[in-house]
Amino acid sequence: MSLNIVISNDDGVYAPGINILFEVLSEIANVTMVAPLEERSTTGHTLTLDHPLRVVKIKENIYGCSGYPADCALMGFGHLVEKSKVDLFISGINRGANLGQDIYYSGTVAAAREATFHDIPSISVSSAMDFASIKKPNDEYFYTAARFIKKLVLANIHEYISPMTVINVNVPEVMEEEIKGVEVTHLGFRKYSENIDKRTDFRNREYYWIGGNYSGHNNDIGSDCSTIDEGKISLTPLNLLAQNTEEPKKWREFLESMD
């Protein structure tokens, strides 16, 4: 029996990455796409609570939603597909990597995280291409990522994903035959200049752009960042409720020291 998969993203319902994912996964599963009607990149885990959401049927099993990625996830398994019948939720394929601390800004990861909060096995997937480039991305790189996700689905990955865990996958910007392997990784740390660019409009009023250039990552062997640099696929299990056992002890001692 075919799996029921809901997919979303933050690049929008018309983005090539999610449509290629829909195409490839539809070969093996029942797929429903619910994605933002406009680009919602870097919006994090935003939910729309102060105004209505609207859903537009684009074509069979493909819907656009006026909200953010997490809204789309909720709309997918909370309205369009019965939650109990959803076997797997996948967010992506994002244009650009979601590595290191970028996962906290990512709408792609947020959509998967929202599904995880509702006990649905979830994956976020990104193609580590230069999202800042003005050139049109090579669709074949999206197919590289989509075919890897297809392999995971065929291997019944949904049965292996632990509760409260998102599987964050990043795929190098290369052809499928150029992939050098797959590694289970931990989060690295990416470095940005985080410049604030001050400008003046035609009415001589000041305005600002939050910018900043990527300047590399910490040299951390086994991290998602280093693994992508090696031309390998990075698979990072993100436990959403992981606890550092040393932290509570440290803070109990701190509070005691205040007495």
Report which of residues 236 and 198 the model is more confident about: 236
Q: How many CB atoms lie within 10 A of CB 18?
A: 29
Beta bridge partners of residue 12, listed in sequence order: none
Q: Indicate if the pLDDT at residue 212 is higher than 70.
A: no
Tens digits of residue pLDDT in 139-176? 999 999 999 999 999 999 999 999 999 999 999 999 99
pLDDT digits (tens, 9 = 90+) for 36-71: 999 998 888 999 999 999 999 999 999 999 999 999
Pair 33, 56: CB distance under 8 Å:
no
- From start to end of 85-211, where are the E strands? 88-95, 122-128, 165-172, 182-184, 190-192, 196-200, 206-210
Q: Say whether pLDDT at 97 is over 80.
A: yes
| pLDDT computed for residue 152 by the predictor | 95
Question: What pLDDT was estimated at residue 134?
Answer: 47
CATH number of 3-188+221-257, picked from 3.40.250.10, 1.20.1050.10, 3.40.50.300, 3.40.1210.10: 3.40.1210.10
CA distance 66 to 60: 18
| pLDDT tier at 246, thresholds 50, 70, 90 | confident
CA 210 – CA 20 distance, rounded (Å): 31
**What's the confidence (pLDDT) of residue 232?**
95
Average pLDDT estimate for 247-258: 82
Task: Look at residue 198 in the predicted model and tell me its pLDDT.
Answer: 83
Residues in CB range of 149: below 8 A, 6 or more apart: 21, 24, 25, 90, 92, 93, 123, 125, 169
- Res 131: pLDDT: 60
- Give me the percent of the chain exceeding a pLDDT of 70: 93
Task: Let me know: does 114 contact 70? Beta carbons within 8 Å.
Answer: yes
Mean pLDDT (the chain) is: 90
Q: How far apart are CA 242 and CA 186, in angstroms?
A: 13
CA 73 to chain centre: 12
**What span, in angstroms and rounded, lies between the C-alpha atoms of 177 and 16?**
21
Is the pLDDT confidence value at 253 over 50? yes
Q: What is the pLDDT of residue 82?
A: 85
pLDDT tens, position by position, 24-39 = 999 999 999 999 999 9
Q: What percentage of the chain exceeds 90 in pLDDT?
A: 69
The neighbouring-strand residues paired with 29 are 3
Domain-wise residue ranges, the chain: 3-188+221-257
Average pLDDT of the segment spanning 212-220: 71
Q: Please report where in the chains the tokens 């509070």 appear, as a residue.
A: 255
Average pLDDT over residues 192-219: 79
- Check residue 255 and give its pLDDT: 76
Decide: 58 and 120 in contact? Cβ < 8 Å: no
93 within 8 A of 146, measured Cβ to Cβ: yes
Task: Average the pLDDT over 76-87 and give the result.
Answer: 90
Compute CA distances 64 → 57, 82, 203, 241, whole Å: 6, 18, 37, 31
What are the backbone angles phi and psi of residue 91, rounded to the nearest 5°? -115, 125
Q: What is the pLDDT of residue 14?
A: 97
